Homo-oligomer: A and B are copies of this chain.
Amino acid sequence: MTTAPLDSTKLVIEKTTNPKEVLPKEKLAFGKSFTDHMLEVEWTAQSGWGTPKLSPYHNFSLDPATCVFHYSFELFEGMKAYRDKDGKIRTFRSDKNMERMNGSAARASLPTFDGEEFMKIIDKLLLADERFVPEGYGYSLYLRPTLIGTTPALGVAAPDKALLYVIASPVGPYFAEGFKPVSLEATDYAVRAWPGGVGAFKLGANYVSCIQPQSEAAKRGHSQNLWLFGEEGYITEVGAMNVFFVFQNADGKKELVTPPLDGTILPGVTRDSTLTLAREKLNSNEWIVSERPLTIYEVKERALKGELVEAFGTGTAAVVSPIKNIEHRGEAIEVPVEDGKAGAFTKQISEWIRSIQYGEEDFKNWSRVAK
C-alpha cells in the first residue's frame, strides 16, 4: 500500500465570513450548539487520506445508500478543551483518545491514522474557534471526533470511502442536576455488551440499544442504567460511563474498586485517570485500589453491612458523577451521600482531575496546550 497518510501540514483553512454569536454560559445545552468551524478529512481505499480541511460548520450531502446509514460504520470520541487561567486552550490526555479511536476504527473496518497528526489539526480548530471555549470550572468546549463510512452502496462489506471529522460544542455540566448524586436502575433484562462483542470500542453500535432501557429506567425515576452481566450480576458500566465504588474494609482500609477491562467495558480516559491518580496520590497504608470483578450482590451485601461508602461514574461528558441510589429488582441500595452531595473521595478525585484539565497542576504531561 502506498496510500497517503493523514498529514496535518496539508491543512487547508477556510474561515467563516458569518461568525455565530457566542451563547452566554447559562444557555449552553450539551451538544446542541456548535462553533463556527469544523474539520474534515476524506479517505479512500485507493488513495488514502486526503487534504484536511478546516471550514465553516456545514451540512453533509450524502447519498441515501451511504453505508453509514445502513450498517453502522461509525465511531467517535468524546474530548474536552478547557480554558486555563492564562486564557490558553488545553485538551486532556488526547493521546488516549487517539489510541482508542484507532482501535475502534480497526474493529469497525474503517481506516486508521496517525493520532498526533490528527491532534495537530484539532489544535488548529481550537485556535480558530477559541472564542467559543467558555471560562470556568465545569465549562469546556466538547470535541466530537467522528469517523463514518461513506461508500454509497448496499453490499455488506468494508467501506472503501470514509470521512473523519470533528465538530465542537461549548458545554456546561452534563447533567442538569450538576454535581448532584444520581439514582441508577440495575439492569439485567437488557445486556450492553458480551465477550467477543464490541463493548470495548467506542462504536455508535453500542449506544442505540441502550436508549430504550434508559427510557424505561427514566420512567421509574432513575437517571441511568447500571449494566449488569451474567447470572452472577457482574457490574460493568453505568449509562455511558465507567463506574467506581468505595468500600470500608474490615481491616480499616478503604478499597476503591472498578471492574476490569475484560472486553465488555469501554476503556474510559477518566477511568484510567481516576485509577492512576488514586494509585499515585492516595496513602497506600489507608487505601487499596482494585480493578476486579464485582457483583451487584457484593454491593448490596456491603451496603447492608454499612461498608459501602461511595459510588460514582466517570466519563468525559460528566467527568465524575456521584451516585446516591441503585435500584435492583425492586430493592434500593442506598449509597451514603454527605448533605445530599458527593462523598469525600468523589469530590477529591473530581478536584484532582479538574486541576490537571484546567492547567493548574502539571501531571505526567496529561494536559496539552493548543498551538
User: Residue A190 at the B interface, CB < 8 A?
Assistant: yes
Stretch at the interface among A206-214, A294-302, A357-365: A206-214
Question: In the complex, are the beta carbons of A212 and B148 less than 8 A apart?
Answer: no
Residues 175-202 of chain A, each 1 if its beta carbon lies under 8 Å from chain B, else 0: 0000000000000111100111110000
Tell me which residues across on chain B come within 8 A of A208, comparing CB atoms. Answer: 71-74, 108-109, 198, 203, 205
Which label, helix, strand, loop or mixed, suits the secondary structure of the A interface?
loop
Question: In the complex, are the beta carbons of B158 and A215 less than 8 A apart?
Answer: yes
Report the Cα distance A208→B106, complex, angstroms.
11
* Chain B residue at smallest Cβ distance from A187: B196
Interface centre among A148, A169, A196, A206, by most chain B C-beta atoms within 10 angstroms, is A196
Question: Taking the full assembly, how many copies of this chain does it contain?
Answer: 2
Interface residues of A in 49-76 (CB under 8 A from B): 57-65, 68-74, 76
Question: In the complex, are the beta carbons of A198 and B209 less than 8 A apart?
Answer: yes
User: Residue A220 at the B interface, CB < 8 A?
Assistant: no
Minimum CB–CB distance from A43 to chain B (whole Å) comes to 16
Question: In the complex, are the beta carbons of B205 and A197 less than 8 A apart?
Answer: no
User: Residue A157 at the B interface, CB < 8 A?
Assistant: yes
User: Residue A335 at the B interface, CB < 8 A?
Assistant: no
Minimum CB–CB distance from A138 to chain B (whole Å) comes to 17
Q: A31-B154, A69-B146, A74-B70 are in contact. Are A196 and B191 (CB under 8 A)?
A: yes
Tell me which residues across on chain B come within 8 A of A158, comparing CB atoms. Answer: 211-212, 215
Tell me which residues across on chain B come within 8 A of A153, comparing CB atoms. Answer: 31-32
Q: Which residues of A contact B (CB under 8 A)?
A: 29-32, 34, 38, 57-65, 68-74, 76, 106-109, 142, 144, 146, 148, 153-158, 165, 167, 169, 188-191, 194-198, 203-212, 214-215, 239-240
Can you sample 20 A-B contacts with CB below 8 Å?
A32-B154, A59-B61, A59-B62, A64-B167, A69-B74, A69-B204, A70-B204, A72-B203, A106-B212, A108-B208, A108-B209, A109-B211, A109-B212, A109-B215, A156-B207, A156-B240, A158-B215, A203-B209, A205-B208, A205-B209
